[in-house]
């Protein structure tokens, strides 16, 4: 999940390990209705990086 620069923990998974280097973006508005969210295993709305480098 893409979080604000001042975030200390990820609201999705609780991780504190972040990267500023990523490529691609998927925005999930309604995870229950999104085929892409289901295929990626995403259950919460938000902005997600596709490829973290």
State the residue range of the domain holding 38. Answer: 1-53
Please give the DSSP secondary-structure letter assigned to residue 12.
T
Q: pLDDT at position 34, please? A: 96
pLDDT at 1 over 90: no
Q: What is the CATH number of the domain that holds 6?
A: 2.20.28.90
- The count of structural domains within the chain is 1
Q: pLDDT at position 53, please? A: 81
Q: What are 17-40's pLDDT values in tens digits?
A: 999 899 999 999 999 999 999 999
Q: What are 8-23's pLDDT values in tens digits?
A: 999 888 999 999 899 9
| C-beta neighbour count of 18 within 10 angstroms | 15
Q: From start to end of the chain, where are the E strands?
A: 22-28, 46-52
Residues 2 and 46 sit within 8 Å (Cβ to Cβ): yes
Q: Is the pTM of this model over 0.95?
A: no
């Amino acid at each position: 999940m893409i979080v604000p620069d001042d975030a200390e923990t990820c609201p999705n998974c609780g991780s504190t390990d972040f990267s500023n280097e990523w490529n691609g973006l998927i925005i999930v508005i309604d995870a229950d209705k999104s085929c892409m969210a289901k295929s990626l295993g995403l259950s919460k709305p938000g902005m997600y990086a596709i490829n973290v480098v």
